[in-house]
Amino acid sequence: MTEDAIIVGGGFAGLSAAMQLARARRRVTVLDTGLPRNRFAAHAHGFLAQDGRPGLDILADARRQLAAYGTVTFRDTEAERLDGDIDAFSVLTGDGERIAARRVLLATGFEDRLPDVAGLAERWGKTVLHCPYCHGYEVGGGPMGVLARTADAARFATIVSDWGGVTLFTNGTAEPEEEALALLERRNVTLRPGRVTAIADGPDGMLSVETGPGIPTLVRALFVMPEARVRSAIPDDRALARKETPIGPIIKTDETGQTSLPGLYAAGDIAIGAGNISFASADGVKAGVMLHHSLIVAAN
């Protein structure tokens, strides 16, 4: 049996797309390895009507609701390879199964590559954070830190400074340019040059950010914009067009969510380069609807 669509990735974008297709009574298989990007954080914030719930609980609810639609199948396995073309795609799963589909949607999310600083990775999603809109409110104000990875960190620091006092750790990146420096000054952002050598626990639940032996700066949280990689070999295998962003290349899509390979769609973080459940969900809805339209148009 050929599916109308295979969705690779059952995170916020993938399940949002699946919902639109399920409600159009289309046959959909969702392949999912169950590792959404925000799994390191105990709670997800800023998603309307779900504020403060664990991200995995939100996804489990979505799955339960989708399972009630008789045309949706879930497989807890990886999509290893995509063969074929529009109307005749086939996906090889990690279980060795081949599933045929007319359309495919990639919604695999990102894998974050954190800067190589001792003590950083184990605090990811807890006191080392990616986004002030998601977690800044809970931090409760300054002092906070921003760890630079590229020159874009200056802009990021000016935004984070709206939540409280910020120190920008340049960590070996180039000094911000004149205009950025002036804005940082207006926002009262302190610049701390030098490499960050380690992150450790400080007193009273603070983080100690070390830029040399015996030079700690105490902050309540450290924000970092990590390099993000698309979590699938399929875009490389199928030579999909990319678009450069400050966090790394994302998959280029047209206004319908279709990639450079006809019939293959992409949605969520990997297509918009953002890090926000609401953006990813909205993008998944759009791709699901447009993918559905393409099935109808192709049939006439």
Ligand X SMILES: Cc1cc2nc3c(=O)[nH]c(=O)nc-3n(C[C@H](O)[C@H](O)[C@H](O)COP(=O)(O)OP(=O)(O)OC[C@H]3O[C@@H](n4cnc5c(N)ncnc54)[C@H](O)[C@@H]3O)c2cc1C
Residue ranges in contact with ligand X by CB under 6 A? 8-14, 31-38, 40-41, 44-47, 78-79, 107-109, 112, 124-125, 130, 134, 231-232, 268-269, 275-278, 280
The three-state secondary structure class of 147 is strand
Closest separation in Å from C-beta 149 to ligand X: 14
| Closest by CA position to 130, among listed 59, 39, 232, 235 | 39
Q: Which amino acid is at 63?
A: R
Closest separation in Å from C-beta 106 to ligand X: 8
Alpha-carbon separation of residue 182 from 107, 145, 169 (angstroms): 39, 18, 17
Residue with tokens 């997800």: 44
Closest separation in Å from C-beta 95 to ligand X: 11
Closest separation in Å from C-beta 109 to ligand X: 2
Is the bond preceding residue 143 a cis peptide, omega within 30 degrees? yes
- Specify whether the CB–CB gap between 20 and 288 falls below 8 A: yes
Query: For strand 128-129 and strand 110-113, is the pairing parallel, antiparallel, or unpaired?
Result: unpaired
Nearer to ligand X, 13 or 166 (CB): 13
Nearer to ligand X, 184 or 270 (CB): 270
Q: Find the residue with minimal CB distance to ligand X.
A: 11
Nearer to ligand X, 173 or 276 (CB): 276
Crossing angle (nearest 10°) for helices 55-67 and 12-23: 20
C-alpha–C-alpha distance, residues 155 and 184, integer Å: 8
Nearer to ligand X, 55 or 176 (CB): 55
C-alpha–C-alpha distance, residues 202 and 34, integer Å: 34
Give the tokens for residue 218: 């105490």
Closest separation in Å from C-beta 145 to ligand X: 16
Nearer to ligand X, 27 or 231 (CB): 231
Closest separation in Å from C-beta 137 to ligand X: 10
Nearer to ligand X, 23 or 229 (CB): 229
